[in-house]
Amino acid sequence: MSEADNASHMNGSAVGPDGDGGDQHDELPALSSAFRQRIRPVLNRIDELRSHGLQSDLKLPMVAVVGDQSVGKSSVLEAISGVEFPRGTGMVTRCALQLSMQWNADPEAPWHGRISYKDVNGHKVDKELNSPGEVDGAVREAQQRMTHGDNEISSEQIDLAIKGPDVPDLTLIDLPGIARYSATGGSGIAQITKSLIAKYVSQPQVLILVVVPCHQDIETVEALSLAKEADPQGERTIGVLTCPDMVNKGAEQETLKIANNEKIPLKKGYVMVKCRSPEELNNGVTLTESVANEAAFFKTHRHFSQLPEQSVGIRTLADKLTEELFESVKRNISTLQNDILEMRKKFQEELQRLGQPVAETKDEKRRYLFEMLSNFNKDVAIATQGEMNARFHLYAKCRKHWTELGKQIHRAWPGWVTRGHISHYWQPPEQVTRLITDLRGRELASYDHVFPIIERIYKEEFLNKLKQPAEQFLEQVSDEVTDVVHLIAHKVFGDFQDIFEVVTETSNEEIAKVLELARADLSGRLFLQEARVFSQDSQFQERIAKIEEDLYKDNGNQQPPVPDSAERIRRGLDAYLRVATERLSDTIPQSVLYFMFDVVSKQLGNRALDLLSESESAETFLSLLREPRHKTARRKQLKEMMEQLRLAQRDFNKFRLDVQA
Write the pLDDT tens digit of every residue in 598-645: 999 999 988 877 776 654 566 667 666 677 777 888 888 899 888 988
The reported pLDDT for the residue numbered 444 is 58
Q: Indicate the domain borders of the chain.
A: 62-312, 362-626
Cα(285)–Cα(86) distance, rounded to whole angstroms?
17
pLDDT at 188: 66
Cα-based distances in Å from 606 to 49, 410, 512: 49, 39, 15
Residue 522's pLDDT is what? 94
67 forms beta bridges with 211
pLDDT of residue 150: 65
d(CA 247, CA 650): 49
In sign, the C-alpha dihedral spanning 26, 274, 259, 102 is negative
E strand map for 232-372: 237-242, 270-272
Burial of 184 (0-12, 13-18, 19+ CB in 10 A): exposed
DSSP code string of 130-186: -SGGGHHHHHHHHHHHHSSSTTPPPSSEEEEEEEETTS-SEEEEE---B-S-BTTTB
Contacts of 457 (CB under 8 A, 6+ apart): 414, 431, 432, 435, 569, 573
CATH node for 362-626: 1.20.120.1240
pLDDT confidence of residue 256: 94
Give percent of the chain with pLDDT exceeding 90: 34
Kindly report the average pLDDT of the chain as a whole number: 82
For 211, the 3-state DSSP assignment is: strand
Q: What pLDDT, on the 0 to 100 scale, is given for residue 187? A: 54
Segment 571-578 shows an average pLDDT of 92
- In this structure, are residues 255 and 214 in contact, taking their beta carbons and an 8 Å threshold? yes
* Alpha carbon distance 481, 177 (integer Å): 62
pTM (predicted TM-score): 0.57
Q: In what order do the strands lie in the sheet with 270-272?
A: 124-129, 112-118, 157-164, 96-103, 170-174, 62-67, 206-213, 237-242, 270-272
Cβ-Cβ contacts under 8 Å for 642 (sequence gap 6 or more): 344, 347, 348, 351
- Asked if the model's pLDDT at residue 398 lies above 70, the reply is yes
The pLDDT of 197-222, averaged and rounded, is 88
What pLDDT shows up at residue 277? 81
Q: Identify the CATH class of 62-312.
A: alpha beta
- Give the tens place of pLDDT for each residue, 473-510: 999 999 999 999 999 999 988 878 888 888 899 999 99
* pLDDT confidence band for 389 (50 / 70 / 90): low
> Hey, how many other C-beta atoms are within 10 angstroms of the C-beta on 586?
12
3-state SS class at 114:
strand
* Phi and psi angles of residue 247, each rounded to the nearest 5 degrees, phi first: -70, 130
Q: Mean pLDDT throughout 257-283?
A: 89
Asked if 655 and 42 count as a contact pair (C-beta separation under 8 A), the reply is yes
126-130, 330-334, 357-361, 529-533: which range is least confident on average? 357-361
| Spatial contact of 492 and 379, defined as CB atoms under 8 Å apart | yes
pLDDT exceeds cutoff 80 at 330? yes
Q: Is residue 170 a contact partner of residue 209, using CB atoms and an 8 Å limit?
A: no
Inter-residue contact 144 to 95 (CB < 8 Å) = no
What pLDDT is recorded for position 390? 63
As to burial, measured by CB atoms within 10 angstroms (0-12 exposed, 13-18 middle, 19+ buried), residue 438 is exposed
Angle of CA points 411, 414, 418, to nearest 5°: 85
Q: What is the DSSP letter of 302?
A: T
Q: State the average pLDDT over residues 528-540.
A: 93
What pLDDT band is residue 536 in, cutting at 50, 70 and 90? very high
The pLDDT score that the predictor gives to residue 508 is: 95
